[in-house]
């Protein structure tokens, strides 16, 4: 499927963002590879999209091609290894793992992204992260070749990876889990989701934690101590429930969100000498 001038607000959890010139939804891994290769050959800017759950697209949108991997959602299980396509949601992989009595992926069940986005970000929560369970990925490398890379060679760090620094495109991932008890896994997933609901402003659209955790501090605490809870520009504000989240309370523009982020960075730096680094990715600015 190919769409023109597709509003990115429809494809981001923030619910903001202007049009992408071209929005391609490959039906298969081969189509995804062909699309990325064509963009590279023609020198057209492209951007690989998962669920848009860590993304702030500008109101002007993106001049180029969005390659949305939402249809690459196949999941296969061999023993304790789950092989999934990059567009599979973390929730569906966690659900499958739970059904099959495979433990170690409970941390990811409540993260609203795809496997590809999670590898790129080395997503994590509640003492777990992709680096703990990822065995290998199939990627399109810088030369346009498809190859398999072991997780040990991906330099997975706090919200970063070689996928990010080397501009690799994840096509498939192999996640290695351990045999466990379905009921215990289910109970753990429920408990983690309960903790999320209690602490996070899930009633509003956001991209999760807006900022990375600065060394020796917690972003949310610094923002709260700076007196910025509830600070708003237009329809965007610092959540009053969890200061680490900038939320869209309704009708926010991307510029509103960016303004709140910039003000929080400046104010926290002015008061505490710590420059917060966004965890959220910016596109089209």
Site for ligand FAD in 170-189 (CB under 6 A): 170
Listed in sequence order, the residues at least 6 apart from 116 whose beta carbon sits closer than 8 Å to its beta carbon are 48, 50, 69, 86, 87, 169, 170, 171, 173
Binding residue for ligand FAD (CB under 6 A) from 23, 62, 105, 120? 120
How far from chain centre, in Å, is Cα 84? 16
Q: For the residues of 25-39, what is the DSSP string, one character each?
A: --SSHHHHHHHHHHH
Whether the CB-CB separation of 97 and 176 falls below 8 Å is answered with no
The reply on whether position 112 binds ligand FAD by CB under 6 A is: yes
The reply on whether position 163 binds ligand FAD by CB under 6 A is: yes
Whether the CB-CB separation of 219 and 209 falls below 8 Å is answered with yes
Catalytic residue flag (residue 209): yes
Q: Least Å distance between CB 178 and ligand FAD?
A: 21
Q: Considering CB under 6 A, how many residues would be counted as binding ligand FAD?
A: 32
Distance CA 90, CA 228 (A): 32
**Taking CA 47 as the corner, what is the angle to CA 42 and CA 48, rounded to the nearest 5 degrees?**
120
Residue 18 or 117: the one with the smaller Cβ distance to ligand FAD is: 117
The reply on whether position 93 binds ligand FAD by CB under 6 A is: no
What is the number of other CB atoms lying within 10 angstroms of the CB of residue 274?
Answer: 16
Catalytic residue flag (residue 136): no
Active site residue: 6, 9, 106, 159, which one?
Answer: 159
The reply on whether position 116 binds ligand FAD by CB under 6 A is: yes
* Strand-pair category, 62-68 with 19-24: parallel
Active site residue: 209, 239, 258, 259, which one?
Answer: 209
The reply on whether position 105 binds ligand FAD by CB under 6 A is: no
Residue 167 or 251: the one with the smaller Cβ distance to ligand FAD is: 167
Site for ligand FAD in 42-81 (CB under 6 A): 47-55, 69
16 is written with which tokens? 């903001």
Catalytic residue flag (residue 164): no
Q: Identify the three-state secondary structure at position 194.
A: helix
Binding residue for ligand FAD (CB under 6 A) from 66, 94, 207, 268? 207
Distance CA 106, CA 117 (A): 17
Active site residue: 6, 85, 106, 279, which one?
Answer: 279
Residues that bind ligand FAD (CB under 6 A): 13, 47-55, 69, 86, 111-114, 116-118, 120-121, 123-125, 163, 169-170, 202, 206-208, 281
Which residues are tagged catalytic? 159, 209, 279
């Amino acid at each position: 499927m190919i769409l023109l001038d597709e509003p990115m607000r429809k494809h981001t959890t923030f619910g903001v963002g202007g049009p992408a010139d071209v929005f391609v939804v490959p039906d298969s891994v081969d189509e995804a590879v062909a699309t990325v290769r064509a963009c590279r050959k023609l020198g057209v800017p492209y951007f690989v999209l998962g669920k848009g759950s860590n993304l702030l697209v500008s109101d002007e949108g993106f001049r180029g091609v969005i390659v949305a991997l939402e249809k690459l959602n196949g999941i296969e299980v061999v023993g304790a290894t789950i092989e999934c396509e990059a567009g599979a949601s973390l929730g569906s992989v966690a659900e499958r793992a739970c059904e099959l009595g495979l433990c170690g992926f409970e941390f990811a069940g409540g993260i609203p992204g795809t496997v590809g986005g999670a590898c790129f970000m080395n997503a994590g929560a509640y003492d777990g992260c992709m680096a703990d369970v990822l065995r290998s990925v199939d990627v399109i490398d810088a030369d346009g070749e498809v190859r398999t890379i072991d997780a040990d060679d991906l330099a997975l760090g706090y919200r970063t990876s070689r996928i990010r620094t080397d501009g690799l495109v994840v096509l498939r991932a192999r996640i290695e889990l351990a045999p466990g008890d379905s009921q215990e896994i289910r109970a753990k997933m429920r408990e983690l989701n309960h903790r999320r609901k209690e602490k996070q402003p899930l009633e509003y659209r956001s991209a999760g934690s807006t900022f990375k955790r600065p060394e020796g501090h917690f972003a949310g605490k610094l923002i709260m101590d700076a007196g910025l809870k509830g600070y708003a520009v237009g329809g965007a504000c610092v959540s009053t429930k969890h200061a680490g989240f900038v939320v869209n309370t309704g009708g926010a523009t991307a510029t509103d969100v960016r303004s709140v982020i910039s003000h929080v960075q400046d104010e926290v730096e002015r008061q505490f000498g710590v420059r917060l680094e966004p965890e959220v990715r910016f596109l089209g600015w």
